[in-house]
Copies of this chain bind each other. A is one copy, B any other.
Amino acid sequence: MGTNVAPWKQLLFGAIEANSHLSHSSYFQLATIGFSGRPSNRTVVFRGFEENSDRIQINTDLRSRKIEELKHCPFSEICWYFSDTWEQFRINGRIEVIDASNPDQSKLQQREKAWFANSLRSRLIYTCPTPGSPCNNEQSNQQVNLDPSSGPVPEYCLLLLEPEKVDYLNLKSNQRLLFSSMASGAGEKSWTSEKVNP
């Protein structure tokens, strides 16, 4: 285990592997703060980690409500429950939103790479009518063609969650571990862990 690998990441990889036979094992719930100051919570799909990093990748539509919510409050908590191994990861951190208007070329490249990692069917979702807007059946039935070699559409957005705290619970072994990060020298993070009551 390299010194840069967060200790909870090994546990998470183990859970992903052990539950990979369940298609819903890559789904988790992402909580944000809504406009009214009330919590907001929805299911999203894990799109892997950013290369050489702890940051968790999520795809979303620029027109979805969570984008506006994250502009007001960039903090989020993931709750990821693995139904076969009875493990839960609560991952708290700040989310960076990367859309087409990002001034950083390397971030735009990262967004493009994430776009092409999606199936063509997943990419088509971003050409659908505005999510959450009143349904107009004619509009919904419109056929859109998308060239497989075309780069990301403007509606496609990459979210990167930078974990700061991870609360791990194993309901089979009845163990719970709290992982906390601290910024150490040279911009690197270091992690501490504590065993707590479940």
A interface residues, Cβ below 8 angstroms from B:
22-24, 27, 29-34, 36-43, 73, 75-79, 81, 83, 88, 90, 92, 128-135, 140, 176, 178, 194-198
B27 touches A81 (CB 8 A): yes
Listed residue (A23, A79, A178, A195) with the most chain B CB atoms within 10 angstroms of its CB? A79
Contacts of A134 in B (CB 8 A): 194-197
A contact face: mostly helix, strand, loop, or mixed: strand
- Given contacts A39-B39, A76-B39, are A197 and B130 in contact (CB under 8 A)? yes
Contacts of A81 in B (CB 8 A): 24, 27, 29, 43
Measured CB to CB, the closest approach of chain B to A46, in angstroms, equals 14
- Given contacts A135-B197, A196-B133, A197-B140, are A88 and B37 in contact (CB under 8 A)? no
